[in-house]
């Protein structure tokens, strides 16, 4: 039986399917079970920044798999220690403490717990259109996808992004943390204003709340700097990471300032910080630094912007490009165009009903981007 038949029989259907079976990848390309080649502007939802089947990551994984795969947090481990030091050295100054987990939602879930433990408060202030994950705590702080799951955590307030007055009124004595993305990913590739993030930092300091920045999607060179915070001169109390951290292996991380209080037994994870994922992360991060993928995201993003916005199809309302995080907002629903792109062998993502989101591997070449631009122009002009 084909993968499609097997999954249709057994998979709990929670994903809107696209109808193809992907069996192999290399850099920015994927192949289906019929041998068709695709340009991947989804990158496993922003996971494959270093490219699919990256040989450096593959070697690190194979080598580490023969040495040690699992090691609980009660013991020290060489790979884990090195990774923690690497993350702390790349993050904004002062974020020296690291907790390792296995996904984005675990990293935001951890951040919410730490904010509560540290402040003794329970309120969360987050942005409308923000996305922080699907486990119950993270979902409580997420604007969408929550309807079927009420009641969620009490005390979560949603404010419109980039409205400083509304943020000012929302942050109060009961606010444990303000949690924001620097660029909203799922919410439509919408960047926060620098003044807004600065105001969030100031309000948190004034009112004894923590500032959590969720860089699960924007981190690891995606937006043209190693972490997106750098572009805003922003130092959060907690930085949440996942997606591209380990070259495609499941991993999340939380980086904390010394203000953040934990304590023995406060949190934990069976798989968090396992040597296999840590080795993959070290390899992926070293690859990003060696090949300066931040600069590459910047250059290739600007290249895309020049090529695509030259002749903007009439049904495009707006193009938002931050490094290689690109949102093409349409005046109509995006799904038919995503399907048309798939027929042109370009894989892309939605971000809300009307936005086509492109998150290609940062190793995508200019000529591959030319192909993407041509496909977009053809599909959007009909």
Ligand X SMILES: *Cc1c(COP(=O)(O)O)cnc(C)c1O
Binders of ligand X among residues 231 to 250 (CB under 6 A) are: 242-243
CB-nearer residue toward ligand X: 52 or 243: 243
Burial letters 331-343, b for 16+ CB under 10 A, else e: eeebeebbebbbe
- Residue found under tokens 């192909």: 371
Hey, which bits of 215-314 come out as E strands?
238-241, 252-256
Q: Is 272 in the site for ligand X (CB under 6 A)?
A: no
Name, in order, each residue with C-beta under 8 angstroms of 108's C-beta and a sequence gap of 6 or more. Answer: 132, 133, 137, 138, 141, 179, 212, 214, 216, 240
Q: Which of the ranges 22-30, 91-99, 211-219, 352-360 carries the binding residues for ligand X, by CB under 6 A?
A: 211-219
Cα of first residue to Cα of last residue in the chain, in angstroms, is 37
Beta carbons of 354 and 331 less than 8 angstroms apart: yes
Q: Is 77 in the site for ligand X (CB under 6 A)?
A: no
Q: Which of the ranges 29-37, 53-61, 210-218, 271-279 carries the binding residues for ligand X, by CB under 6 A?
A: 210-218
Q: Is 109 in the site for ligand X (CB under 6 A)?
A: no
Nearest residue to ligand X, by Cβ distance, number only: 104
Q: Is 118 in the site for ligand X (CB under 6 A)?
A: no
Q: Is 104 in the site for ligand X (CB under 6 A)?
A: yes
Q: Give the x/- contact pattern for ligand X in 160-199, rule: CB under 6 A.
A: ---------------------x---xx-------------
Question: What is the nearest approach in angstroms of ligand X to the Cβ of residue 208?
Answer: 25
Q: Is 327 in the site for ligand X (CB under 6 A)?
A: no
Long-range own/partner contacts, residues 13-22 (CB < 8 A, 24 or more apart):
18/339, 18/342, 18/347, 19/342, 20/342
Q: Is 217 in the site for ligand X (CB under 6 A)?
A: yes
Cα separation of 334 and 352, whole Å?
9
Q: Is 329 in the site for ligand X (CB under 6 A)?
A: no
Question: What is the nearest approach in angstroms of ligand X to the Cβ of residue 119?
Answer: 21
Q: Is 108 in the site for ligand X (CB under 6 A)?
A: yes
- Residue found under tokens 């879930």: 109
Q: Is 131 in the site for ligand X (CB under 6 A)?
A: yes
Q: Is 123 in the site for ligand X (CB under 6 A)?
A: no
List, by residue number, the catalytic residues.
131, 214, 243
CB-nearer residue toward ligand X: 181 or 237: 181
Q: Is 105 in the site for ligand X (CB under 6 A)?
A: yes
Residue among 296, 293, 272, 273 at smallest CA distance from 284: 293
Question: What is the nearest approach in angstroms of ligand X to the Cβ of residue 316?
Answer: 23
Question: What is the nearest approach in angstroms of ligand X to the Cβ of residue 240?
Answer: 7
Question: What is the nearest approach in angstroms of ligand X to the Cβ of residue 186?
Answer: 6
Beta carbons of 126 and 156 less than 8 angstroms apart: yes
CB-nearer residue toward ligand X: 100 or 216: 216
Distances (CA, A) of 339 to 344, 371, 376: 9, 16, 11
Cα separation of 47 and 99, whole Å?
20
Question: How many helices (DSSP H) and strands (DSSP E) are in the chain?
Answer: 12, 17
CB-nearer residue toward ligand X: 92 or 313: 92
Joined together, the tokens standing for residue 259 give 């203000």
CB-nearer residue toward ligand X: 276 or 373: 276
Residues that bind ligand X (CB under 6 A): 103-105, 108, 131-133, 181, 185-186, 214, 216-217, 242-243
């Amino acid at each position: 039986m084909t993968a499609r038949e097997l999954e249709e029989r057994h998979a709990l259907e929670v994903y809107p399917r696209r109808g193809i079976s992907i069996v192999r990848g290399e850099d920015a390309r994927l192949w289906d079970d019929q041998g068709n080649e695709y340009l991947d502007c989804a990158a496993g939802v922003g996971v494959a920044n270093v490219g699919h089947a990256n040989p450096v990551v593959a070697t690190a994984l194979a080598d580490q798999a023969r040495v040690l795969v699992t090691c609980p947090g009660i013991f020290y481990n060489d790979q884990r220690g090195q990774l923690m030091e690497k993350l702390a050295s790349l993050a904004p100054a002062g974020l020296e403490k690291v907790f390792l987990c296995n996904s984005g939602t675990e990293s935001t879930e951890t951040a919410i717990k730490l904010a509560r433990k540290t402040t003794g408060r329970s309120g969360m202030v987050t942005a409308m259109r923000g996305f922080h994950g699907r486990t119950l705590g993270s979902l409580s702080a997420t604007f969408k996808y929550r309807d079927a799951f009420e009641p969620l955590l009490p005390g979560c307030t949603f404010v419109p992004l980039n409205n400083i007055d509304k943020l000012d009124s929302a942050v109060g004595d009961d606010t444990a943390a303000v949690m924001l993305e620097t660029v909203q990913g799922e919410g439509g590739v919408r960047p926060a204003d620098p003044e807004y993030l600065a105001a969030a930092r100031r309000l948190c300091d004034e009112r004894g709340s923590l500032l959590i920045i969720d860089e699960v999607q924007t981190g690891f060179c995606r937006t043209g700097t190693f972490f997106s915070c750098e572009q805003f001169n922003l130092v959060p109390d907690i930085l949440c990471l996942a997606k591209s951290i380990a070259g495609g292996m499941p991993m999340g991380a939380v980086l904390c300032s010394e203000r953040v209080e934990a304590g023995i037994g406060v949190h934990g994870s069976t798989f968090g910080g396992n040597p296999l994922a840590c080795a993959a992360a070290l390899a992926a991060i070293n690859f990003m630094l060696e090949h300066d993928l931040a600069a590459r995201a910047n250059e290739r993003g600007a290249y895309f912007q020049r090529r695509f916005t030259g002749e903007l199809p009439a049904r495009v309302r707006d193009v938002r490009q931050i490094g290689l995080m690109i949102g093409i907002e349409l005046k109509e629903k995006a799904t038919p165009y995503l399907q048309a792109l798939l027929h042109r062998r370009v894989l892309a993502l939605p971000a809300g009903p009307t936005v086509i989101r492109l998150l290609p591997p940062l190793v995508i070449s200019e000529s591959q981007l030319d192909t993407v631009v041509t496909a977009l122009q053809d599909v959007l002009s009909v």
